[in-house]
Amino acid sequence: MPQKPSTLKNKVTNILTRSQKSRNNNLTLYKHVLNEFYNTDMKTITAHDLFQGIANKDYPNYDAITRCSRKLQEEDINLRGSEWEERHKLEQPIINDLKNNF
């Protein structure tokens, strides 16, 4: 049986490598992390139990997963989803808009 990755970075890399859908959808990525590494059945867990697990740090922080994913995709084009390029085309106009409005 293969050993499961131990660090968050390795866990996210493992999922992004195998799951194209997770590359474009952070909720899908988070679901895979919880399912595969925390033995959480997302079909049966209640919202209360999920949020309590996050608050108690039984589960990783959602923001940490998404930040990790963005950093990995920035560094490795093979981990990018089909929507990555489109999102990054919008980057400069959004930066300019924020500069002009704040």
Structural domain contains residue 3: no
Q: What is the residue range of 42's domain?
A: 8-101
The reply to whether 2 falls in a domain is no
Structural domain total, the chain = 1
Q: What's the whole-number average pLDDT of the chain?
A: 88
Cα(43)–Cα(8) distance, rounded to whole angstroms?
23
Among residues 19, 5, 82, the alpha carbon closest in space to that of 30 is found at 19
Question: Does a structural domain hold residue 1?
Answer: no
**43 domain residue, yes or no:** yes
Does some domain include residue 16? yes
Say what the pLDDT of residue 89 is. 72
Which residues are within 8 A (CB) of 63 and not within 5 positions of it... i.e. 6 or more apart? none
Mean pLDDT over 39-56 rounds to 94
- 43 class by beta-carbon count within 10 Å (0-12 exposed, 13-18 middle, 19+ buried): exposed
| Residue 24 counted as domain residue | yes
pLDDT tier for residue 4 given thresholds of 50, 70 and 90: low
- Residues 57-90 have pLDDT tens digits of 999 999 999 999 999 999 999 998 888 777 767 7
Could you please report the per-residue DSSP string of 5-25?
Answer: P-SHHHHHHHHHHH-HHHHH-
